Amino acid sequence: MPDITTLHNLYVNDSNGLLTTITAIYDRIEGKDFNPVWISIIPREKAIARVKQLSLITIEERVKLPLYGIPFAVKDNIDVATLPTTAGCPAFACGPVAENAPLVEKLEQAGAILIGKTNMDQFATGLVGTRSPYGACASVFNTNYISGGSSSGSAVAVASGLVTFSLGTDTAGSGRIPAMFNNIIGLKPTRGLLSARGVVPACRSLDCVSIFAETASDAAIILSVTRGFDEFDPYSRIPSDSSGASPWIIAPTFRIGIPTVVTREFFGDIHNPVLFQKAINVISHDLNGELIEFDLTPFLNVASLLYKGPWVAERYAAVGNFVDQHLTEIDPTVRTIITKAKDYTAVDTFNAIYELERLKKKTNKLWEMFDVMLVPTAPRAFTFDEIGAAPIEYNSQLGYYTNFVNLLDLAAIAIPAGIRPDGLPFSVTLISHAFTDTALLILGDRIHRSLATNIGGSSRSLADTPKLLSMDNCNMPSNCFLIAVVGAHLSGQPLNYQLTERKARLIRTCHTNQEYRLYALKDCVPAKPGLLHVKNSEGRGIELEIWAVSADKIASFIAMIPSPLSIGNIHLDDGQIVKGFLVEPSAVNDAQDITHFGGWRSYLNSTKASS
C-alpha cells in the first residue's frame, strides 16, 4: 500500500482513486487467505459508504484532513464501535462495543478509513505472535518464521500492503519486535502521550498504543493526529515546555550509546551481529554520530523485573478474574504467565519498586554519556517450530533489548536496517528519554534511508517516499531555545561551561549581517566583547555561535548575564533572526572598536601575537 503522500497525490489526480484503492484492499482480503491477519473486518459496504462520504469533500477542504482516505487497521484489544473486542480470546468479547476508542475516533476524524481489527497474542501476552486461537501470523519474508507479537496482525497488515498504517500496543516490545520481523517502522511512543482509553490493558501502568508504518514520515503524521491529553485516561500526560528537549537532533553531531560487545547478545545468530555493526558504522561515518560504548547490564536488570517480578500481577489485575473462569479457553502459555501473578505479594511489589528506583539511578548516570541509545530490535528471529519447543524461553530472548524501555519511561522507534543473507529482515531500535518521540522519528528517518532500500515486504523503493526532515531544513524542537553567543561563551572560552553544564549543544558557527559593531569592553573579568546593532553601519559581519538550550534551562542561563550585556534580536547574514548577546549603547563610549577583526577569537589571537 503506498505511503500517505503518494495516496493523497493519487486522490487529487484520479477522481476514482479512493474508491479503487479501498475496493482493491477488499478484493485482496477476499481473494486470499488473510484470516490469520484479521479477527474482524469492517463490512465492504460500510467502507464504500465511507469512501462516498469522503469523496464529497472538496480538494481544498481535504488539507484539513491529514489522513484523508488513508486505510488503517487496529489491534483487537482496541475498541471499535460495532465490532467486538476479543483481545485474542473469543470468549472475552461481549458483543459489539458501543464506542470507538478515542484514538480510533481521532483517526477517522482526520479522514482515515478503518479496514478491520487484527490478530494478536492473547491478552497481549507475548512477543511471538503465535498465542492466538485465530491462527498464527508469519513473517511476510518467510512463512516458516514468526511474525513477532503481540501486535502480530497489525504489523503484517502494513508489511503486506493491506493498509498504510496500523495501531498496536506495547508493554514489553510488542510495537517493536513485529516491526523488525516484517521490515517496517515501529514507533513506541512515550507512555501517556497517546490515550489508552478503550484499550484492554496488559499492564495498565506500562502500556502504550504503538504505531506501525512503512516510513518515519508517515509515523510522524499519525503521531501528530493521535497525540494529546485525555482527561479520562488516568495515565494520560501533558508534557511540559521542556519535556523531551532534543537539541542534539539539529547539532552537527549527536552522541549515540551502543552496548559494549560483552553485553550484546544474539543467542547464537551469526547474521544480525554483522548487520548491527554495519548500522553502527553508517551512523558513525555517514551521519556523524559520536559512538559511546556503555554497559547494558543495569538496563537488563530492569528488564528482568518485567516478567520475573510482580509486574506480572498487573496482568492478573487486568484480566485475571476472566482467566480463572475460562481456563480452558486461554492459551496454555498465556494462562501460565497470568496465573503466576498469584505467587507475588504486596511486599514483593514494593520491594520491586524499590529495586527499580535503585536501578534508575544507575541508568540515569549512563544517560549522561549519550543522547540516544542504539540497540538491535531483537537478538534473532525464530521459526514456529523453535517457539513451539520453548515458548517462554525464546519469548524472553526476544525481549532482551525491549523489556526495560517502558519500565524506565523511555521512547523508542524500531527501524529497518537491512536484509540478511537468508532473506530475513534486520532492525535496530533508537531509544531516548520520554517525549523525545519527534526527534527519534527525525533521526530514525535518516538511519532508515541509510540502511534500507525497499519498503516492508514489497519491491517499492524507500527513496521514492518523502523524507521526514533533512539536516538542512530541520526545525528546532519547540522545547529548545536558540541563542547566539559572541564572546566569553564561545567554544573554548572561559564561560562556555555555563552552556555545556546545561547540556546545550553547538548548532553552527555563522555571522551577523553588516549592521553590527563589536567592542572590547573595559573592566570585565573574564574579558568580554559587546555586540551593538548600528543601523546602516558599513562594518563586516561578526562571527558568532548558535547554541540550542533546553527551554527549562534558559531562564537560569539568562539570569547570569551581567550588565551591560543583555539578550536581544540579532540579524544574521542569511536573513535569520535569533536571540543573542547584545550590549547597552552607553557601555561602548569608552570601549575599543574591534569590528575590523570580524570576531572575538580573532581579536584575542591578535592580542596574543602582539604580546
pLDDT band of residue 475 (cuts 50, 70, 90) is very low
Active-site residue 396, yes or no?
Answer: no
CA 197/CA 232 separation, integer angstroms: 7
**246 belongs to the catalytic site:** no
Label residue 458 by pLDDT band (50, 70, 90): confident
Residue 433 has pLDDT above 80, yes or no: yes
**pLDDT exceeds cutoff 90 at 208:** yes
Q: What mean pLDDT, rounded, does the chain reach?
A: 93
The per-residue b/e assignment along 18-41, b for 16 or more CB within 10 angstroms, e otherwise, is: bbebbeebbeebeeeebebbbbbb
CA pair distance 291, 255, nearest whole angstrom:
6
Residue 250 confidence (pLDDT): 86
Rounded average pLDDT over 550-577: 92
Average pLDDT over residues 309-319: 88
Query: Is the pLDDT confidence value at 476 over 60?
Result: no
The pLDDT assigned to 394 comes to 95
Spot the catalytic one: 75, 117, 528, 553.
75
Q: How far is CA 84 from CA 41, 98, 323, 463, 548, in A?
A: 11, 9, 18, 39, 49
Reply yes or no on whether 117 is catalytic: no
State the helix-helix crossing angle for 391-398 and 332-339, rounded to 10 degrees: 70
Point out the catalytic residue in the list 132, 147, 150, 210: 150
Query: What CATH class has 480-610?
Result: alpha beta
Q: In terms of CATH, what superfamily is 4-237+249-464? A: Amidase signature (AS) domain (3.90.1300.10)
Q: What is the pLDDT of residue 471?
A: 38
Nearest to 3 by CA among 468, 475, 452: 468
Query: What per-residue confidence (pLDDT) applies to 611?
Result: 57
pLDDT in tens, 495-511: 999 999 998 999 999 99
CA 336, CA 318: separation in Å to the nearest integer?
Answer: 15
Catalytic residue among 132, 154, 160, 174: 174
Secondary structure (3-state) at 562 = coil
Q: Could you report the per-residue pLDDT of 153-168, keeping only the tens digit for each?
A: 999 999 999 999 999 9
Q: In sequence order, which residues have a C-beta less than 8 Å from that of residue 423 and are 6 or more positions away? A: 141, 142
Average pLDDT over residues 277-299: 97
Q: pTM of the prediction? A: 0.92
pLDDT score of 478? 61
Q: How far is CA 423 from CA 199, 367, 428, in A?
A: 35, 35, 17
Specify the residue for cell string 568580554. Answer: 528
User: Residue 218's CB: how many other CB atoms inside 10 A?
Assistant: 27
Q: Which pLDDT tens digit goes with each residue over 540-560?
A: 899 999 999 988 889 999 999
Extract the runs of DSSP E, i.e. beta strands, from 501-604. 505-511, 516-520, 529-533, 543-550, 565-571, 577-583, 592-593
Residue ranges of the domains in the chain? 4-237+249-464, 480-610
Checking if the pLDDT of 442 tops 70, the result is: yes
Mean pLDDT of 286-301: 96
Give residue-wise pLDDT tens across range 237-249. 998 877 888 989 8
Q: Is the pLDDT of residue 473 over 50?
A: no
Q: For 343-358, how does the pLDDT look when each residue is reduced to its tens digit (9 = 90+)?
A: 899 999 999 999 999 9
Which tens digit of pLDDT belongs to each residue from 84-102? 999 999 999 988 999 999 9
The CA distance from 135 to 237, in Å, is 36
